[in-house]
């Protein structure tokens, strides 16, 4: 952790097999490092494998009795309530009729707050950047395992054979609060692609990612739990993520969220309908609660919103989500 926090690593493609020859110079009191990138120009660590699955694929190959428990390192403080920042909310834009415009998917007043937090488990949530130019949210759920929404994965770039994903835990204003170099690229992905034919359902909008750097060892990770419809209407749930094009420099946080409906099928997916406040960029962020002391469990990941005019948001949960994480922990050391 100390080494990651004190260094910033870059990965570049070069022309030929030889290493690049960086140039170091002094500019306005700062050190400048110029690294030639070759004709490709990308500065990223590409992923290796990305497998698009269908609902139920892992249901028969996973130990259903395994407990996807959380883990907290002894060196990290545990806070049951995170420290929030004062709001820097911008004034809403006004249309010609004099009303007020609000971002889509926000139900009533926006109840999200901004975090500046490194304690456990809040510091296990981070921002994801991808080769497709998109950004999303995700959470550590294993030593090398990251959980996010399936549509955050740049499947189009995967098909083209050149893709990458970068995860920055506790992201705030350009870097991690854990240290400038605390981040990891994704080496492997296994998930459900909502864009596959016949597969556009929020119940399965999930993906697990293997990280090149085992960030979950020093930072800890969430556990997973099964959502039951008997909990419908209970305001127990919290959500974190990284909404774009808003006032947040860090993660958004909202508590007291209720799931008002949950629909399931035989393939292990549960579509959770909730009225939490989310906007683009929150996708992949965890919906979770504490199930007793030292026991935060994710029961769903933020997926999407209703496109038919109904003001409701969707999160993907169910035993299939838990199976994905158990499989990843067992197969991605």
Has residue 102 got a pLDDT over 90?
no
Q: What is the spatial distance between Cα 240 and Cα 220, in angstroms, rounded to a whole number? A: 17
Q: What's the CATH code of the domain at 209?
A: 2.40.10.120
pLDDT in tens, 36-56: 877 766 678 999 999 987 776
Asked whether residue 183 falls in the same domain as residue 151, the answer is yes
- Is position 2 within any domain? no
Gyration radius from the chain CA atoms: 20
Pair 159, 201 in one domain: yes
Categorize the per-residue pLDDT at 246 as very low, low, confident or very high, splitting at 50, 70 and 90: confident
3-state secondary structure of 252: strand
In a domain? residue 183: yes
- For residue 20, tell me if it sits in a domain: yes
Residue 321: name the closest of 237, 242, 227 by CA: 227
pTM to 2 decimal places: 0.89
Q: Is 159 exposed, middle or buried (0-12, 13-18, 19+ CB in 10 A)?
A: exposed
Is the predicted pLDDT of residue 244 greater than 90, yes or no? no
Residue 33 sits in the same domain as residue 150:
no
Greater confidence (203 vs 188) lies with 188
Q: What is the 3-state secondary structure (H, E, C) of 186-227?
A: EEEEEEECCCCCCCCCHHHCCEEEEECCCCHHHHCECEECCC
The answer as to whether 216 is a domain residue is yes
Q: Is residue 1 part of a domain?
A: no
The reply to whether 117 falls in a domain is yes
Are residues 233 and 307 located together in one domain of the fold? Answer: yes
Considering the domain architecture, whether residues 182 and 197 belong to the same structural domain is answered as: yes
| Whether residues 33 and 114 fall in one domain | no
Confidence of residue 101 (pLDDT cuts 50, 70, 90): low
pLDDT at 282 over 90: yes
**104-151, pLDDT tens digit by residue?**
456 677 888 999 899 999 999 999 999 999 999 999 999 999 999 999
Distance between CA 202 and CA 29 in Å, rounded?
51
- What is the rounded distance in angstroms from the CA atom of residue 196 to the CA atom of residue 289? 31
| Per-residue pLDDT reduced to its tens digit, 298-319 | 999 999 876 565 678 899 999 8
Residue 264 confidence (pLDDT) = 86
Q: Are residues 309 and 218 in the same domain?
A: yes
Q: How many domains does the chain have?
A: 2
Instruction: Clarify whether residues 17 and 139 are in a common domain.
Output: no
How far does CA 288 lie from the centroid of its chain?
A: 13
User: 169, 182 in Cβ contact below 8 A?
Assistant: yes
279 and 161: one domain? yes
| pLDDT score of 95 more than 70 | no
| Residues 17, 93 within the same domain | no
Say if 4 falls within a structural domain.
no
Q: Which range of residues forms the domain containing residue 35?
A: 11-43
Together in a domain, 59 and 203: yes
Same domain, 146 and 173: yes
Residue 248 has pLDDT above 90, yes or no: no
Task: Judge whether 136 lies within some domain.
Answer: yes
pLDDT (0 to 100) of residue 9: 80
Contact 139, 181 (CB under 8 A): no
């Amino acid at each position: 952790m100390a080494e990651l926090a004190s260094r910033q690593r870059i990965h570049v493609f070069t022309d030929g097999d030889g290493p690049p020859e960086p140039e170091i110079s002094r500019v306005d009191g700062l050190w400048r490092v110029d690294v030639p990138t070759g004709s490709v120009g990308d500065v990223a660590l590409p992923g290796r494998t990305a497998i698009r699955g269908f609902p139920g694929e892992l249901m028969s190959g996973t130990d259903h009795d395994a407990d996807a428990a959380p883990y907290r390192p002894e060196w990290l403080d545990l806070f049951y309530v995170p420290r929030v920042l004062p709001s820097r909310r911008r004034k809403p834009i006004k249309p010609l009729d004099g009303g007020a415009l609000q971002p889509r998917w926000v139900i009533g007043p926006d109840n999200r707050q901004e975090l500046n937090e490194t304690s456990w488990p809040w510091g296990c949530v981070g921002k994801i950047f991808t080769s497709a130019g998109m950004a999303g949210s995700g959470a550590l759920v294993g030593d090398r395992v990251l959980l996010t929404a399936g549509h955050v994965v740049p499947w189009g770039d995967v098909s083209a054979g050149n893709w990458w994903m970068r995860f920055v835990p506790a992201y705030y204003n350009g870097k991690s609060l854990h240290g400038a170099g605390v981040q990891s690229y994704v080496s492997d992905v296994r998930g459900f692609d909502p864009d596959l034919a016949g597969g556009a359902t929020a119940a399965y909008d999930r993906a697990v990612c293997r990280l090149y750097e085992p960030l979950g060892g020093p930072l800890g990770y969430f556990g997973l739990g099964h959502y039951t419809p008997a909990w419908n209407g209970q305001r127990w749930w919290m959500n974190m993520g990284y909404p774009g094009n808003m006032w947040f420099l860090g993660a958004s946080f909202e508590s007291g969220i209720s799931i008002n409906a949950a629909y399931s099928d035989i393939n292990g997916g549960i579509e959770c309908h909730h009225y939490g406040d989310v906007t683009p960029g929150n996708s992949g962020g965890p919906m979770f609660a504490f199930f007793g002391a030292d026991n935060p469990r994710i029961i769903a990941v933020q997926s999407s919103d209703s496109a038919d005019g109904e003001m409701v948001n969707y999160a993907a949960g169910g035993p299939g989500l838990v199976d994905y994480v158990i499989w990843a922990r067992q197969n991605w050391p």
